[in-house]
Amino acid sequence: MVLPTDMVAVDIKEPGGPEVLTAVTVPVPDVQAGDLLIKNEAVGVNRPDVAQRTGNYPVPPDANPLPGLEVAGEVVAIGAGAGDWKIGDKALGLTHGGGYAEYTAVHHGHCLPWPDGFDSALSASIPENYFTVYYNVFTRAGLKGGETFLVHGGSSGIGHAAIQLAHAAGCTVITTAGSAEKCQFCLDAGANKAFNYKDGDWVEKIEAFVGKKSVDVVLDMVAGTYVQKNLSLMARDGRYALIAFLGGVKAEISLGPLLRDRITLSGSTLRPQTVAEKAAIAADLYANVWPLFNAGTIQPNVHATFPLTEAAKAHELMETSAHLGKIILTV
């Protein structure tokens, strides 16, 4: 296959609003040892993309400076030592930047085949959300069947993935969301109970549903004032996984429950993980989550799609928080 030398991509002209996302022409990435070059068909849009656009998510020195952390498409070139992949394979990948483009180079260990029956949009909805959830909730926090799990923002891409995976694992799943429609979306995804955080005290409602100090694992993207509230709900030996700060990076908390109830408070974000660590997450997903995708047990929800060059509209939608599940750019 003869590849073009240049491609269309979307760059961040300067920190600012969605309008700073600009279509540009840049060289097609070189394929390094261990990489696959993917001709993108769909690209996921994520909160870190918005944070990068506004200047609040520094790009690692070794990363592609273009936004975009997940892609799905066709393998068109293969670097030395890039596993058993073949030209023409359909792959999805967790990228180290550079997803908002016609072509993206991705380490082969961070790529997986499209699940059975999935199209490009569904496949591009997987990497950032399901890698993040599986790693934080199951690998680090050790959620297991029979436990009670709480996730905030259940109608987001992360929240939807977390609800599905926890439900499939046999857990009691509780979530919060910001409207009756979003709460119903969460229930349809497998949540046992969804509480509108705009409608009364969700802490009291959760305690009434499962009892005081009954939550085994929390996945929190909010932080801020939510931290102490979450801690007040946690059972003995509870595990608190913090992955974002949408409600603020600072929190005043009482440390008593951590000591008294042996609570583990941990945090991580996906992008700074090493190449080997991300490859290990991918391998765990392929072993434990791909059978659920292939069987039709779980599936991302694509709320809306936009052409790549209309990335600004996709960011505008994400910033309204009106979406249910994923927003995708088509290439």
3-state secondary structure of 227: helix
Nearest-angstrom CA–CA distance, 78 and 84: 10
Instruction: Give the pLDDT score at 245.
Output: 84
Nearest-angstrom CA–CA distance, 222 and 231: 13
Instruction: Give the pLDDT score at 86.
Output: 97
Calculate mean pLDDT across residues 23-35.
97
Confidence of residue 249 (pLDDT cuts 50, 70, 90): confident
Cβ 41 vs Cβ 73: under 8 Å: yes
Confidence of residue 1 (pLDDT cuts 50, 70, 90): confident
3-state secondary structure of 29: coil
Q: Which long-range contacts (CB under 8 A, 24 or more apart) does 118-122 make?
A: 118/293, 118/299, 119/42, 120/41, 120/42, 120/72, 120/73, 120/330, 121/42, 121/72, 121/302, 121/305, 121/326, 121/328, 121/330, 122/299, 122/300, 122/302
Domains within the chain, CATH numbers bracketed: 6-126+273-330 (3.90.180.10), 130-267 (3.40.50.720)
CA 8, 57, 240, 279 dihedral sign is positive
Cβ 151 vs Cβ 162: under 8 Å: yes
Cβ 236 vs Cβ 260: under 8 Å: no
Confidence of residue 57 (pLDDT cuts 50, 70, 90): confident
Instruction: Give the pLDDT score at 203.
Output: 95
Confidence of residue 256 (pLDDT cuts 50, 70, 90): confident
Query: Which of 13, 114, 117, 23 shows the shortest CA–CA distance to 71?
Result: 114
What is the tens place of the pLDDT at every residue in 178-198? 999 999 999 999 999 999 999
Residue 192, number of CB atoms within 10 A of its CB = 18
What is the tens place of the pLDDT at every residue in 122-164? 999 999 999 999 999 999 999 999 999 999 999 999 999 999 9
Q: How does DSSP assign 260-280, residue by residue? A: HTT-EEEE--STTS-HHHHHH
Confidence of residue 16 (pLDDT cuts 50, 70, 90): very high
Structure tokens at 130: 């399901």
Q: What is the pTM of this model?
A: 0.94
